[in-house]
Amino acid sequence: MSTYDRIYQIVRQIPPGRVATYGQIATLADLPGQARLVGYALYRVDLANSDVPWHRVINAKGCVSHSPQRRGTDYHQQALLEAEGIEFDESGKLNLKQYLWRSPPTSTSV
C-alpha cells in the first residue's frame, strides 16, 4: 500500500461532523512529523470522483488552511464542514475540543 493510500484509508474513517488535523493523520499513518505530506496527499484527491473526505482534515490551529494555490477549495472546504454542522467563529476557527475525531485504537494498524 502506498503512503498516500495509507493516508486516504485513515481519512475515510473520519465521520461527518468531525475533523482531524494534518499532524494527527500523519501520526496515524505512521508518518509522525509529516503533516505537510498529508496536505500534499489530500491536495491530489480528485474532488469530483473520490470517496476521500479530504475536507475533514484541518490545521492544528482549528482552521482551514488558506492558500492561493488551492484555487478556492479552502472556502469550499469550510462550506462542506459547515454543511455537516461544524460551526466556525468569526475568525474562521472551530472548536477542536468539540469537533476533533478520536480514532479507534485499531485504526493505527493500517
pLDDT above 70 for 109: no
CA–CA gap between residue 32 and residue 69 (Å, rounded): 25
Percent share of the chain, pLDDT over 90:
77
In the chain, the number of structural domains is 1
Whether residue 80 contacts residue 14, with contact meaning beta carbons closer than 8 Å, is answered with: no
Write down the pTM of the prediction. 0.89
- Given a cut of 50, whether residue 48 has pLDDT beyond it is yes
Enclosing domain of residue 64: 3-108
Q: pLDDT averaged over the chain?
A: 90
Residue 68 confidence class, pLDDT cut points 50, 70, 90:
low
DSSP state of 14: P
CATH at 14 = 1.10.10.10
